[in-house]
Structure 1
Amino acid sequence: MKRFFFFILIFHNAFSQEIPLNVQKLIKAYPDQIVDYKDNKIIFSDKSSLIYDDFKNKTNQELLDNPDIEDQFKFVYNKADKNLIPKEDAGRIRNEAFFKKIYGNSKSEVESKMTEIIWCPKLANQKVKVTTVNGIDKIVKKLSAELDNNPEFKKYINVIGGTFNWRKISGTNRLSMHSYGMTIDINVKNSNYWQWDCKCKNEEVTLSYRNQIPLKLVSIFEKYGFIWGGNWKHYDTMHFEYRPELLL
């Protein structure tokens, strides 16, 4: 009987330490920073850790304002589809402490990891700053090279709306993903943003989805690990951010 309970205990301990699927995705997406998972904590390469799941039920606003890392996977990101009108905000829920661990805890720390590249030399020839963390600068160069071979995209990509900018999201106290140097806004003149269209900042407003960006262009960004703000109910169609864990 003692042996039976001994094996039950071993099984329970092994099961309790099983790495959740979404944590496995994070480890795969950020291999230089995330090295392990133990006791409901994400373990980073510097031996620090963050709680993965706080086990709290949250309203939509609480998910935006105070998410844990597990909440970032609350909604499934669907790749660009002409027949799909987004009903959720997959990727818009972000744990600020997590991204500060990945990219830098302050403006100066993020800037110390930045480099300058030429965006689309043929169609735009614009200098932009991006982070070198996880080789994102190299990924953006490959993305840029592929887009540069599609002249039909010129009016969408020839003027970058923004990359690195340490700031808060308009109307909130949340740090923008532009603060980390892994986000690209393409030409704002051919884009739609829910706050512009409703002329408000009310998260509960009823929205009529709008988009002008070709989905072929979006699919190229997704190929390189960038999610698209046009796939959000609260749409931001100029916006692309490097979130490979949501595409795995």
Structure 2
Amino acid sequence: MPLIKLGVEGKTRFSRGDTFLHNVISGNHSMRVLPAAIIGVAILLASTIWVFVPMLLQEEEFFDGPAIDSGARIEIEMLNQQVEDLRERVDTLTQEVARVSARAAAGNRQVFQAPDVDDSQPFRQSGPNDIIDAYAQVVLIADRRNVNEGLTIAGSRWLGNTFGLPRQDLDQTCREMTNQRLASKLRTQNVGPIKVRMLQPAIDSLTRVFEKVRATDPDLYARISTAGSLCVRAIRGTTNRASTHSYGLAVDLNIDGKLDTLGDGKTQLGLTILADFFKEEGWVWGASWRREDSMHFEVSRQKLEQWVRDGVL
């Protein structure tokens, strides 16, 4: 029975040393910065223990006689001494890791230390702001045929069948709206950064668009200009068809008052950003048309059908 106690005690003492070794080597996040040579030493020592301990702790040897009992005790004590030696080495390595980490942290502070700033002085831009100044930059419209995916235009035929013509005697000159159903909802109003004359539901919708733009990108919001909204006249080449502009359901926008070139497949960068806000609100962007008109934004058919169902038009 004393033989069994020696075996259990030896196993317990080794298990504690092994647990300590595992926690130090595997659990210390500082080891990430340890040089490769130091890591190799630790792994070599751990491997030695894992190889020889099973040979020393085989239970059948403990029951072979008194001589094996004494030998086991000696081997276990020697192993414990090795574990203590390893613990000291690991402590030394841990201290080395701490020194390396401290040097690395000090180096990072020197590299990334922010300069002193005099908060009493107002900020002044020392040169052009590349982001803000890019809003008016002309760029190609990426995948422009699909920018209105999920939305469709109302079209002059649908508009005429649903609301009637905005006025009966259409020509190429912009005139007043005489359609009473629509004219009663016509308003002139400041909407965000621009002033428009449109139907009230369209003004309300446009207000939501600009409010989101203002909250998200105030620099872009401040540079939005308009090239017009309501213009009651016939579509060129026709005498009885009217566009969404004639119904007070469209607006032309630009950045900094610079007009876009019609039909070149390009637009101002700021308009490509605005297009996302308009699409979310249910407006169609004229960039997708065969003859690209990227300044043009109009209420989609889906949105108009909803307004009709809701009784606002």
Bigger fraction of residues in helix: 2
- TM-score, with length taken from structure 2: 0.40
- TM-score, with length taken from structure 1: 0.49
Look at both structures and tell me which one has the larger radius of gyration over its CA atoms. 2
